[in-house]
Amino acid sequence: MPKIRGIRFPADILEGLLNYAEYIHPKEAFLLLRGKILKEGEIEVKEFVVPPFAVQGEGFSSFSPWFLPFDPSILGTIHSHPSGSLKPSEVDLNHFYGRVMVIVAYPYRSEVDIAAYNKEGERIPVKVIFQ
């Protein structure tokens, strides 16, 4: 499996994500990311999904992947940091699920408030694509 080197968000999905995080604020939003892996090791985001049994606002640790149906198009997770930090917490890193972890931080204005990390814990570039 190729190492993930970047993530691409269509502009409308990015905006939807920022709006959702703002709507859930000051609680922590938690979502799953569906997409595909491109040849260059970049993930192209197709949509974000509210997980069936997630309790919004309870934090990342309440998420259990065993509740999820097997779905190989789920490539990772997205959650918000109402604190404004773009850095993953210890808990985040210990609960890494899938290939990528996206953090959306307060004040949820644009891609500068988004950070993505691969399984190796490296921050990877976030690109916005306009179609």
In the 8-state DSSP scheme, what is residue 70?
Answer: P
Sheet of 100-105: strands edge to edge? 123-124, 114-118, 100-105, 74-81, 30-37, 42-49, 6-10, 126-129
> What is the C-alpha to C-alpha distance for residues 38 and 102, in angstroms, rounded to an integer?
18
Rounded to a whole number of angstroms, the minimum distance from the CB of residue 100 to Zn ion is: 14
Rounded to a whole number of angstroms, the minimum distance from the CB of residue 25 to Zn ion is: 14
User: Closer CB to Zn ion, residue 73 or residue 85?
Assistant: 85
CB under 5 A: which stretch of 11-19, 31-39, 61-69, 88-96 binds Zn ion? 88-96
Q: Is 92 in the site for Zn ion (CB under 5 A)?
A: yes
CB under 5 A: which stretch of 9-17, 30-38, 87-95, 113-121 binds Zn ion? 87-95
User: Closer CB to Zn ion, residue 10 or residue 57?
Assistant: 57
Contact status, residue 42 vs residue 8, Cβ threshold 8 Å: yes
Contact status, residue 36 vs residue 72, Cβ threshold 8 Å: no
| Site residue total, Zn ion (CB under 5 A) | 2
By CB under 5 A, name the binding residues for Zn ion.
89, 92
